[in-house]
Structure 1
Amino acid sequence: MVVEGSSAPRRTHAAPSRSRNAAARSRAPAHSSAPAGAVAATVAGSGAGQKGSAFGHVDGVVATRSGTGTKTDSPLIETPAAISVITQAQIQAQAAQSIAQAVRYSSGVRSETLGADQRFDNVYIRGFLADQYLDSLRLLNFGIFAYPIIEPFNLERVEILHGPASVLYGQSSPGGIVDLVSKRPTLEPYHEMFISTGSYGRAQGGVDLSGPIDKNKEFLYRFTASGFDVGSQVDHVEYQRISIAPSLTWRPDNNTTLTVLGTYQHDPKAGFYNQLLPSGIGTITPNKGSYIPTSFYSGEPSFDKTDRTFGTVGYLFEHSFNNNVKVRQNLRYTDLSTDFAVVSPNGSQPDPTNLARGAFTTQESIRSINVDNQLETRFNAGPFEHTVLTGLDYINATDKRLNGQLLVAPVINAFNPVYGAPFGPVPSTTNVRQRIEQLGVYAQDQIKFDRWVALLGIRHDLAQSRTETLTYATGVTAIAPKSDTAVTKRGALLYKFDNGIAPYIQYTESFQPTAGTDFALRPFAPTTGQQEEVGIKYQPNANSLYTLAAFNLIQQNVLTPDTDPSHGIGKLVQTGEVRSRGIELEAKTEVSRELTVLASYTYLDNIVTRTNTPTQLGKHPVVAPMNSASAWADYTFHSGPLDGFGLSGGVRYIGETAGNTANTFYVPAVTLFDAALHYDLSALGPMFKGYSAQINATNIFDRTYVTLCQDIGCYYGLRRNVIATLRYRW
């Protein structure tokens, strides 16, 4: 996939001459809020105009507007917060197969921590596991293995809001959020289909069809469907998915829009548990001169399974009473179920030739409804321009799970595994039913005065939960009700110079409920987070955006062991604290029609500042490296004998990370290289108009590395993966 910007002129001097086919490709029809016609192998259309929507398609890789940081359609250069936007063009150009892969080249982010184990799509921001949202409504994953995985082909963009976001989104991680923006119906016809093949027997394909249903364009539709069947670097592991995402927009007049969206996704083979030994035995350091093969499967092929079904239905409604007042209501119902069974090492035996294992099962389902009501009002008060957003959002969700556990399963030799040894049935151990509710009221004011932009916000939340746990061994049902309230605030100020430079300062807060009770059975209070941030944004034109952010983030009420012996063994208290401090740099620029460049660098000093465990005080939590960096460049020829041909290259550096909470060993740093070749087949003649081909390779030198170690085990990173794609747009 070519990563190419808009067809609008970008330089003051005359553009270089192009071939007839190249000129024809640049005159693709414009689409109002979604992909336009094919230009080379990327999505292109009306140039800078396609960069003008915070919720729609973006031509190329540089977005200029976002709704994630403010819940309003705001220019990124005027939003005093660090926000990264990964467009669908970038996702396709880099052949990202998950949200975790899509954010590889963003600053402040750590993803793909579990390597080939892709049951989860975890993204860490500023050292903390981030919550994920779909169209600004939270994707709930408060269970064990019922985790929502969103197919990236169904999205227009992935947005990362760095830092606490509770003032708009309620309970959330202090590191930030990942907001996924769905593809929506388009005013102009758009059609796309693709097929892919590659490493591990990949078979993949998809279609994306959109446009008006009637001549008056009152009704618009979109239908996105895709699926794949692919193996893995690990023996006996296969991934399968089918995803269907229809949507319909009704526009009864120029002031009203109702878009109904649905999703059905079934992953009958959705991943596996492949955590290896702690302390890096056999992975970072050899065991008797040998390393555990990356192909080693630690489970039982005839027993293990992860079967996930994910369905949603909802709507996005907006009505403008006039130019100054509009209301919005976004609603979604979600049904998610997972059937999981695994035999896995239990970490009690450090000898990889004689791994002790146990078995675990769970059947889990989560049903939830989210609604967000918003009133947006614009008015002037003297020289001040106000955009006031008030809102009320509500979440109601129920998680049911039946868990089973067998402490002892047959041992296995990691260097010479033999499967199929019999073991007893896995008995049911607990039956858990958990219900959560959250009600939030928030207000935000975006104030403009000359070149100044101020952002003020406040929110009040009430979060309630009730957990009923039946333990079969005792026949006792434990009931744990919990109620939390929180007030969170944000204040920020930005100054926008005429030359495109915009420095800003920001203070913002977060809260996140904590499960469990202390020795006196008192529910834990939510963790709280406070962040100070200063930054500079630079937007010299619509095709470039540079961001520098420095932050100091503190999370309090972190759980730590209770050291009072009279309280019993294994009890916890909330006297822990974690500090995250760092610098993030990110650049996205379409230098010319031919050259696109992405770059990022992150310095992160993430340490435990308070704990009752002396061996952890002043130590770095696992996951987040102190230094990480990435760069990606694409060059596409638009004339001469190589017209239509392009090549891309990327490099990712992941610094060393702590291997356990005591920091007694570290996971080594690694540098990975990616590459791509692409060709717009229309350069061969009119009969190939709309066709493009590309080949992507990640970790092209097939580097074997460990991506994460925790106290309980380590994970290998992804090895070389090659994907070839043929795409047709019309």
Structure 2
Amino acid sequence: MSRRPSNPFWPALVLACAIPSAVAAQGGRSGETAVVLDALSVEGTFTATPTYRVPELYSGTKTVTPRRDVPQQIDVLPHEVLIDTAATRVERALDYVPGVGKQNDFGAQNLALYSVRGFATQDIFQNGFNIARGYNGAPDTQNVQSIEVLKGPAGALYGRSDPGGTVNILTKQPVARPFVEMGTLFGSFGTARTTVDAGGALSEDGNVLYRFNGVLARQDSFRDFVDGDRVLLAPVVSWQVTPDTKITFETQYLRNRQTFDRGTVAVNNRLGLVPRSRFFGEPGDDSVSESALLQVRLEHAFNTDWQLRVAGHLNTGSLIGLQTGVTGILDDGRTLLREFRRHDFTWGVAIGQAELVGRFETGPFAHTLLLGLEHERYNSTENLLRSTPRLDPFAIDLFNPVYGQAKPPFTRRYSASKNVGNTALYLQDQIALSPEWKLLIGNRTDFYNQTFRDKVANERTEQDRTGFSPRAGLVYQPLSFLALYGNVAASFRPNTGFDSASRPFAPETGFAYEVGTKVDLFDGLSVTAAAFHIEKENVLTTDPADFFFQIAAGAVRSQGFDVSLVGQVTPEFRVIGGYAFIDAAVTRDEVLRVGSPLLNIPRHSGSLLGIYEVRAGDWKGFGIGGGVRAVGSRLGDSGNERFRLPGYVLTDALAYYRYENLRFGINVDNIFDETYYERSYNSFWVGVGEPRRVTVSMTAGF
């Protein structure tokens, strides 16, 4: 749902707020502060030896905290993983996070839905701000410094959300040393990509710094008639106003054109009847998404113990284009009925936050206190024109498709707008009870208002909700390299729309608990193992009295365990990956069978990527490695338990050579050219995985 903002956003900007630029000063005089994003950022590919070691985290507490001190499983994808895997989209990099799976991606048009620990989520943040409001294009990795995946509820810090997990993307920040990196990438299916990453000082005294990232890319596909292109511009400027005060302006423009493609079709629950390249839309069914983002951040240190962080976030965008999607199949087993659509979505969001971080002691206890205030305004409009397959089938033959038919008339119209206002207060205290025991407690209270209007039916609903998202966690560290932890947390998410009686839906609520252990091994290898149980209620489901409407009557739960590892086995050998066992099922529903599995959730999945780089001698800078990605069988249609997506195992390989300011790389994904299916919405919309892909890249630094 989306629309350009009609309400003024100035209240949110005036409120301002803190973001992942948290001040992390631990000692020294006033002004000796370290900003989180700056501390995590790198100058470029050639400034340091590649490493996956991640000793400190931001997203789990909004303060710089050692990994072992956070009572929650948080998986981190450092910048080097994106380089090693030649990942141009965040989604590709997430393949190496255990328990994260692929969900609906709206025909490859926008931010994809992911599942984390069994629950689909679109809670994707950038520097602490939600960028999943509206239909932003899938995030590009060019200006990404690292990706942190929080497992379990994160509402105590980030507000209304799903209890499975949250993804927070941290972007590259300005650096003092001047540098320029130019990159080019070519690959299978006509892929071509040019990038630039540059930074340095804009003033003689070094107080004004900049960073600029840009992308021009061609996004062809192995799918017939499917292609696209992309432009990304992401400049950042920071100004050290005084030794104690810093302000940062970060902008991003993303334009993405992509052919709408819902994938292949299963006939009588059977896949593979046609080539994986076959396309069932219409050539020229393109959509264009454009979004513009501005983040302004202010950090001020009153002294070494108290810091104020203030920031604002503006994001506007649109998604306009055509779609042709399969809606059914005739009894002959080959004639597909299709619906033709035109969509026009626009949106605007403004978020302001203010956070105060303080460190103090009460007797023997040391505290790190976070006080936060957030205000959000979001407006969207969605216009959709549709044909009627029953009257105008717009049919195509599964085995002998003929394209270019006359387009059917639009006979149905959907038009709706949504206006959201949300104000939140949150508090968190990290308490060091002793050198071995650490306690974390917190809560966020959201005051939510939503007005939803169906313009065609001339129906309007309004809802006001108050949601509480508490959390508590405890860490015990009997040894310097070992931590045992447990946590409990709740989540809250309002549902959009109304039921057959024109009443707003009750909000989704979630509850979760987790126990786990964190171990640091060798020269920087972190291993985390956790067992979890999550419940979610008031999940929208079809109203059995009227299938055109929904009711908030469902309940689901997910339980299991996951193991993740990231870091250095030796200085030369780095690894990332893990394994997840997830048992996710319906526990109450008016339509679905109790006990039925959740869509696209495998019970077993895992991945492992390992890279060895020579550090000395004639072969210094040469790296070689490979990865394995395995996903088990999954339910492919919520209304049809007989249809399942088969499991798959994919093997990847890579090699590169770094010499001074040059890097040459080659990646081969899906070496054995396996046919597999990544995701599905139902048996008519099944996402086909890529065949073998070869990518060659080169980066030069100046």
When normalised by structure 2's length, the TM-score is: 0.90
Contact in 2 for aligned 1:101/1:112 (Cα 8 Å):
no
SS of 1:496's partner is: strand
The answer to whether the aligner puts 1:147 opposite 2:136 as a matched pair is yes
- CA distance in 2 between counterparts of 1:699 and 1:589 reads 24
Q: Give 1:37 deviation, angstroms.
A: 6.2
The answer to whether the aligner puts 1:715 opposite 2:653 as a matched pair is no
- CA distance in 1 between counterparts of 2:642 and 2:103 reads 23
2:175 — aligned with what?
186
- CA distance in 2 between counterparts of 1:593 and 1:352 reads 57
1:92 — aligned with what?
83
SS of 2:455's partner is: strand
Aligned pairs for 1:535-684 within 5 A: 535-540=516-521, 543-563=524-544, 570-613=548-591, 616-661=593-638, 662-680=640-658, 682=659
SS of 2:80's partner is: helix
The answer to whether the aligner puts 1:410 opposite 2:394 as a matched pair is yes
Distance of aligned partners of 1:201 and 1:710 in 2 relative to their CA distance in 1, 3 Å threshold: closer
Q: Give 1:585 deviation, angstroms.
A: 0.2
- CA distance in 1 between counterparts of 2:375 and 2:244 reads 26
1:323 — aligned with what?
304
Aligned pairs for 1:146-225 within 5 A: 146-225=135-214
More deviation, 668-677/210-219? 210-219
Q: Give 1:113 deviation, angstroms.
A: 6.3
Residues 428-483 of structure 1: per-residue CA shift (max 9 Å, x gap): 61222211111111100000122211100011111111122222xxxx42112122
Residues 486-513 of structure 1: per-residue CA shift (max 9 Å, x gap): 1121010001233310000100111111
Distance of aligned partners of 1:256 and 1:112 in 2 relative to their CA distance in 1, 3 Å threshold: same
Contact in 2 for aligned 1:319/1:327 (Cα 8 Å):
yes
SS of 1:101's partner is: helix
Structure 1 residue identity aligned to 2:627: G
The answer to whether the aligner puts 1:276 opposite 2:264 as a matched pair is yes
SS of 1:579's partner is: strand
- CA distance in 2 between counterparts of 1:623 and 1:354 reads 26
Distance of aligned partners of 1:691 and 1:430 in 2 relative to their CA distance in 1, 3 Å threshold: same
Q: Give 1:712 deviation, angstroms.
A: 4.7
- CA distance in 2 between counterparts of 1:113 and 1:168 reads 26
RMSD over aligned CA atoms reads 2.1
Distance of aligned partners of 1:427 and 1:99 in 2 relative to their CA distance in 1, 3 Å threshold: same
Residues 142-176 of structure 1: per-residue CA shift (max 9 Å, x gap): 5xxx2342211111011100111111111111111
- CA distance in 2 between counterparts of 1:561 and 1:242 reads 40
- CA distance in 1 between counterparts of 2:690 and 2:268 reads 17
Residues 251-298 of structure 1: per-residue CA shift (max 9 Å, x gap): 02221111100011111x2242224335664525xxxxxx11111111
1:724 — aligned with what?
696
- CA distance in 2 between counterparts of 1:264 and 1:349 reads 44
Residues 586-645 of structure 1: per-residue CA shift (max 9 Å, x gap): 0113122321122300000001111123x5210101111000011111112234453332
Residues 303-322 of structure 1: per-residue CA shift (max 9 Å, x gap): x1110111111212111101
Q: Give 1:116 deviation, angstroms.
A: 8.4
- CA distance in 2 between counterparts of 1:149 and 1:667 reads 24
Pick the aligned partner of 1:420 from 404, 407, 410. Answer: 404
- CA distance in 1 between counterparts of 2:594 and 2:156 reads 30
Distance of aligned partners of 1:551 and 1:266 in 2 relative to their CA distance in 1, 3 Å threshold: same
- CA distance in 2 between counterparts of 1:434 and 1:309 reads 20
The answer to whether the aligner puts 1:692 opposite 2:663 as a matched pair is yes
Structure 1 residue identity aligned to 2:697: T
Structure 1 residue identity aligned to 2:260: F
Residues 496-551 of structure 1: per-residue CA shift (max 9 Å, x gap): 23331000010011111112323432211111000010010112466221101110
SS of 1:664's partner is: coil
Distance of aligned partners of 1:492 and 1:594 in 2 relative to their CA distance in 1, 3 Å threshold: same
Pick the aligned partner of 2:451 from 457, 462, 466. Answer: 466
The answer to whether the aligner puts 1:295 opposite 2:284 as a matched pair is no
Distance of aligned partners of 1:380 and 1:204 in 2 relative to their CA distance in 1, 3 Å threshold: same
- CA distance in 2 between counterparts of 1:427 and 1:442 reads 48
Aligned pairs for 1:438-449 within 5 A: 438-449=422-433
SS of 1:225's partner is: strand
Distance of aligned partners of 1:78 and 1:62 in 2 relative to their CA distance in 1, 3 Å threshold: same
1:44 — aligned with what?
48
Q: Give 1:330 deviation, angstroms.
A: 2.0
Q: Give 1:196 deviation, angstroms.
A: 0.8
Structure 1 residue identity aligned to 2:73: A
The answer to whether the aligner puts 1:529 opposite 2:510 as a matched pair is yes
Structure 2 residue ranges without an equivalent (≥5): 1-37
1:685 — aligned with what?
none
Contact in 1 for aligned 2:111/2:132 (Cα 8 Å):
no
1:17 — aligned with what?
none
2:4 — aligned with what?
none
- CA distance in 2 between counterparts of 1:422 and 1:116 reads 22
Structure 2 residue identity aligned to 1:212: A
When normalised by structure 1's length, the TM-score is: 0.87
Residues 381-427 of structure 1: per-residue CA shift (max 9 Å, x gap): 01100111011111111111221001135211232221111134435
- CA distance in 2 between counterparts of 1:120 and 1:432 reads 21
Q: Give 1:575 deviation, angstroms.
A: 3.0
2:126 — aligned with what?
134
Distance of aligned partners of 1:526 and 1:32 in 2 relative to their CA distance in 1, 3 Å threshold: closer
More deviation, 713-722/435-444? 713-722
2:26 — aligned with what?
none
Distance of aligned partners of 1:279 and 1:715 in 2 relative to their CA distance in 1, 3 Å threshold: farther
Distance of aligned partners of 1:429 and 1:571 in 2 relative to their CA distance in 1, 3 Å threshold: closer
Structure 1 residue identity aligned to 2:605: S
Q: Give 1:702 deviation, angstroms.
A: 1.1
- CA distance in 2 between counterparts of 1:541 and 1:185 reads 32
SS of 1:347's partner is: strand
Structure 1 residue identity aligned to 2:515: V
Contact in 1 for aligned 2:359/2:368 (Cα 8 Å):
yes
SS of 2:96's partner is: coil
Percentage identity across paired residues of the two chains? 28
Pick the aligned partner of 1:262 from 235, 251, 255. Answer: 251
1:249 — aligned with what?
238
SS of 1:515's partner is: coil
- CA distance in 1 between counterparts of 2:106 and 2:628 reads 18
- CA distance in 2 between counterparts of 1:65 and 1:403 reads 46
- CA distance in 1 between counterparts of 2:261 and 2:465 reads 34
Structure 2 residue identity aligned to 1:626: R
SS of 2:42's partner is: coil
